[in-house]
Amino acid sequence: MALMLYNTAAKRKEAFVPLERGNVGLYVCGVTVYDLCHIGHARSAIVFDVLVRYLRAIGNHVTYVRNFTDVDDKIIARAREEGKSPDDLAQFYIDAFYKDMDQLNILRADKEPRATEHIEGMIDMILTLIKGGHAYRAEDDVYFSVESFPGYGSLSGRRLEDMKAGSRIAVGENKRHPMDFALWKAAKEGEPYWDSPWGKGRPGWHMECSVMSSHFLGSTFDIHGGGEDLLFPHHENERAQAIAANGGDFARYWIHNGFVTVDSEKMSKSLGNFLTIRDALTLYHPQVLRLFLLSQHYRSPLDFTRGAVEGHQAGLVRIYRALERMESVIGPWIDNKDQGADGKGGAIALPDEFRAAMDDDLNTARAVAFLFETLKEINRLISPDSADSSGDLSELVRRRKELMRSASVLGLLNDSPAEFFSGIKQGEEGIEREEIERLIADRSAARAGKNWKKADEIRDTLKSMGVVLEDGPKGTTWRIDV
C-alpha cells in the first residue's frame, strides 16, 4: 500500500515518496488576517489537517508549516476603516482564527510564521533575484520578470502568450511584461513600511511563502498546499521566484483543495452568502461541520446547504448513540498511548479498508463510509437480539478500536458522547430536569396501571417540549431531540 496523491503540477495521482524516508515537509498557505474565517477556510484547514494526521498515522514525522499573511493591502485598508493599527488588526484576527479552528479540532501547525517576521529574508531573496537578472527595479518598486524564468506557467498550465493575448490586466506603466508581478512595493503616505535598498516599502504578496517555506523546509521540499484559487497567480509566482532565487525544485507535490459554495453560489460579500465559521457554528456542532466537509473528496467543489449538512448531523448522531451504548457495555473509550494521530512516533494500526481509502488521494468520503460500515457491525454486536451480544465482547472492543482510530485520523469523534450530546442540544436551557423526571414518573405509574392513553399524552407533552422517551427493559430514559 502506498499513499497516492493528486499532484497539481503533474495533473495526475502520483505515489507519494518523501525526499527523506519517514520525514515530510509540508507548507500550506494560511490566511490573510483581515477578517473572520469562512467555511471555505475551514475546508482547506481541515483537508490539510487530515493530511498531516494521516501522514503521521502511517509513521512519518511531519514538519507542518502554515503562515499568516499579516501585511497586505486589505489589512491596511481594513485597519484604516477601523482606526486600528495593522498589527493590532492582524493580531485580532489571528486570535479569531485560533478560536474557530480549535473548535473544529484542527491541530496547530509546527511552525506558524507571520510574513512580518521574515521581511529581511524577503529582501535578501529580492536582491538575489535582481542579481540573477530575474527582477528589476522600476522607480521604487521591484518586479519579477516572468520572461526571465523559462518554466513560468508550467505549474498552472498557462502559457505566457495566451495570458498576454487575453489579458484583462492593465499593463503597469513600469512593467516590462504585463504578467510581471511586484516583489517590493513602495509605501505610500501613511502605509506601514520597512526600510530596504529600494526605500521604504513592503513585500509583494508572493514573497512571504517563497521565503518562509524555504526557510523552514529547504529549497526543495515535499508538499505545498492551498486552495485551488491560489494556483494562479500565487503559487505560480511563488514557485517561479523561489526557484529563480534558490535553485532546487521548490515543492515536489502540489495539493489544492476545491472550493466551497453556499447554495450553489460562490461566497461573496455582495451576495450576502459569506458564511463565517462562527456563523456556521451557531447552526451546527463543530463535529457535524467537520464530518460534512470531509464527506466528499477534497478536490471536488462542495456545496454547503442546510439539507446536506443536516443529513450528516443525523448520521453523526447515530454514531454517537452507538458510542454511548458501547460505553455502557464495555466502558468508556480510553485513549491509549498507541492510538490517535497526534503521536510523534511510529505508525498506528489502521484497518486495511480505511487505509486503502486514505491512500487513494485522501478519499475521505470512502473513509467515512468505512466508519459507517463499522458502526453497523458494532450495532449488530450490541443489538439486544443479536446472537453475539451475550458472549464474547472482544469483537466489540476490537471494532470500537478500529472505529475510534480511524475517526481520530479524520479528527472526528473526539468528543465523548456526553460532550457531544450536550453540545448539540439546542434550547436546553428552557428544559427543567425535575419537571421531566416528574412527568416520566407519572407516565411510568400510568403505564404500570395500563393507562395507555394517559401515558401517551404525557409522552406527547414531553415530545412537544423537545424531549424524546425510550422505554427499555431497565426503565424509561429520555434525551433531547436533535
Q: Is 380 in the site for RNA (CB under 7 A)?
A: yes
Per DSSP, 276 falls in state B
Residue 127 vs 465, nearer CB to RNA: 465
Helix axes 39-57, 286-294, angle to 10 degrees: 70
- Decide if residue 455 touches RNA (CB under 7 A): yes
Q: Is 231 in the site for RNA (CB under 7 A)?
A: yes
Cα torsion 123, 129, 133, 139: sign: negative
CB of 430 to RNA, least distance (A): 21
Query: Does the footprint of RNA cover residue 226 (CB under 7 A)?
Result: yes
Helix axes 364-382, 286-294, angle to 10 degrees: 120
Applying CB under 7 A, does 10 fall inside the site for RNA?
A: no
Tell me how far, at minimum, the Cβ of 344 lies from RNA, in Å. 27
Query: Residue 224: helix, strand or coil by DSSP?
Result: strand
Indicate the SS3 state at residue 114: strand
Amino acid at 381: L
Among 23, 59, 74, 338, binds RNA (CB under 7 A): 74
The length of the chain, given as a count of residues = 482
385 binds RNA (CB under 7 A): yes
Single out the residue of 139, 373, 432, 437 in contact with RNA (rule: CB under 7 A). 373
CB of 462 vs RNA, minimal distance in Å: 11
Distance CA 326, CA 349 (A): 21
Q: What part of residues 79-138 is at the interface with RNA (CB under 7 A)?
A: none
Q: 232-291: which residues touch RNA (CB under 7 A)? A: 232-234, 257-261, 264-267
Instruction: Please tell me whether residue 471 binds RNA under the rule CB under 7 A.
Output: yes
Asked if residue 275 lies in contact with residue 286, where contact means CB atoms within 8 angstroms, the answer is no
Closest CA to 375 of 336, 412, 331: 412
Residue (339 or 363) nearer to RNA, CB: 363
Is 295 an interacting residue with respect to RNA (CB under 7 A)?
yes
Residue with smaller CB distance to RNA, 136 or 370? 370
**Bond from prior residue into 233 cis (ω within 30 degrees of 0):** yes
Q: Which of 15, 438, 427, 25 is nearest to 221 (CA)?
A: 25
Beta carbon of residue 46, minimum distance to RNA (angstroms, whole number): 10
Residue whose CB is less far from RNA, 18 or 40: 40
Of 237, 121, 125, the residue nearest 177 (C-alpha): 237
439 binds RNA (CB under 7 A): no
Residue 19 or 275 with smaller CB distance to RNA: 275
**Residue 44 sits in the site that holds RNA (CB under 7 A):** yes
Residue 188 CB neighbours (<10 A): 10
Q: Which is nearer to RNA, 61 or 479 (CB)?
A: 479
* Residue number with CB closer to RNA (110 or 456): 456
Binds RNA (CB under 7 A): choice among 15, 165, 334, 448: 165
Phi-psi map region of 94: left, alpha, beta (phi>0 left; psi -120 to 50 alpha): alpha
Minimum distance, C-beta of residue 343 to RNA, in the bound complex (Å): 27
Kindly report each contact of residues 263-267 with a partner whose C-beta sits within 8 Å and lies 24 or more positions away, as own/partner.
Answer: 263/303, 263/304, 263/305, 264/303, 264/305, 267/38, 267/39, 267/40
Per CB under 7 A, 154 contacts RNA: no
Residue 55 or residue 163: which is nearer to RNA going by CB? 163
- Count of residues of this chain found to bind RNA when the rule CB under 7 A is applied: 86
Strand 201-203 relative to strand 181-186, pairing: antiparallel
Residue 460, phi then psi, degrees to nearest 5: -65, -40
By CB under 7 A, name the one of 97, 205, 221, 354 that touches RNA.
205
Footprint on residues 166-195 left by RNA (CB under 7 A): 166-169
Tell me if 475 contacts RNA by CB under 7 A.
Answer: no
228 interacts with RNA by CB under 7 A: yes
Cell numbers found for residue 298: 477534497
